[in-house]
C-alpha cells in the first residue's frame, strides 16, 4: 500500500511539501525564515553554559557523566559518585521569572505556542525532578546567566550539596 506522502513526480513532491507546511503551520503558527534559522541553531547539548560549568567542575577534580541518559530527564551533568543530577537551564525555555516573561510573550508573535511550550517545559522539569528524587538523587538547577556570571559560585553550591549529603548519610 502506498503511503500518504509518497512522491510520484516533481509536481506531487511540491504538493506534498505544501501540505506538510500547512500541517506544521496549523500546529505551530507561521514562522519566518529568520526565526527558523535562529531556532535551528539552538542546541540541546554542549551549550556554552554547560561547557562553562563542566570546565569548572573538571578543574576542581570532579568527574561526571554528561547528558546521562540512564536517568530521567538526561541531566546535563551527573555526578554519579555523589548521586547529584545537575541541570543547566536557559532562562527563556525553562521559564525564569515566568509571570513577567509570559506578559512579554503575550504581546509577541505566536504567543499561544510559546506559552504552551514553556509551561510544558516547566511541568516536565518538575516531573523529572520528582522522579530523580524518588530514585535517591539530589537535583540542582542553575540558570544559564548564573553559570556564566560566576561558575565558582555554582561549584560552591555543588560542594555544599555533596557535604550535606555526606553528613546526612553519616548520621543515618
Q: Identify the residue with better confidence: 8 or 170.
A: 170
pLDDT in tens, 97-110: 999 999 999 999 88
Region 118-128: what's the mean pLDDT? Answer: 97
Whether residue 9 is contained in a domain is answered as no
Residue 23 included in any domain: no
Q: What does the pLDDT read at residue 46?
A: 82
pLDDT of residue 2 exceeding 70, the answer is no
Q: Is residue 17 part of a domain?
A: no
The whole-number average pLDDT for the span 123-137 is 97
Would 32 be classed as within a structural domain?
Answer: no
72 falls within a domain: yes
Say what the pTM is: 0.77
| Residue 155 within any structural domain of the chain | yes
For the domain that residue 105 is a member of, what is the CATH number?
Answer: 3.40.960.10
Domain count, the chain: 1
Task: Give the containing element (helix H, strand E) for 78.
Answer: strand 77-79
Whole-number CA gyration radius for the chain? 21
**Is 3 within the bounds of a domain?**
no
**Residues of the chain above pLDDT 70, percent:** 79
Indicate if the pLDDT at residue 6 is higher than 60: no
- For residue 130, the enclosing domain spans 46-171
Whether residue 140 contacts residue 157, with contact meaning beta carbons closer than 8 Å, is answered with: yes
Contact residues for 7 (Cβ-Cβ < 8 A; gap 6+)? 13, 16
- Cβ atoms within 10 A of the Cβ of 14, count? 11
List 66's β-bridge partners, or say none: 77
Residue 37 resides in a domain: no
Q: Give the pLDDT confidence score for residue 31 in this predicted structure.
A: 64
pLDDT band at 158 (very low <50, low <70, confident <90, very high): very high
Amino acid at each position: 500500500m502506498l503511503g500518504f506522502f509518497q512522491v510520484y513526480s516533481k509536481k506531487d513532491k511540491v504538493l506534498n511539501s505544501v501540505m506538510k507546511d500547512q500541517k506544521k503551520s496549523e500546529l505551530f503558527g507561521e514562522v519566518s525564515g529568520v526565526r527558523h534559522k535562529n531556532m535551528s541553531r539552538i542546541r540541546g547539548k554542549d551549550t556554552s553554559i554547560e561547557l562553562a560549568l563542566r570546565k569548572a567542575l573538571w578543574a576542581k577534580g570532579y568527574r561526571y557523566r554528561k547528558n546521562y541518559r540512564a536517568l530521567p530527564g538526561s541531566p546535563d551533568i551527573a555526578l554519579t559518585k555523589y548521586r547529584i543530577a545537575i541541570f543547566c537551564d536557559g532562562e527563556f525555555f525553562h521559564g525564569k521569572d515566568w509571570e513577567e516573561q509570559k506578559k512579554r510573550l503575550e504581546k509577541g508573535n505566536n504567543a499561544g505556542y510559546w506559552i504552551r511550550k514553556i509551561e510544558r517545559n516547566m511541568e516536565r522539569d518538575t516531573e523529572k525532578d520528582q522522579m530523580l528524587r524518588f530514585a535517591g538523587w539530589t537535583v540542582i538547577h542553575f540558570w544559564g546567566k548564573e553559570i556564566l556570571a560566576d561558575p565558582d559560585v555554582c561549584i560552591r553550591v555543588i560542594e555544599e550539596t555533596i557535604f550535606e549529603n555526606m553528613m546526612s548519610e553519616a548520621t543515618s
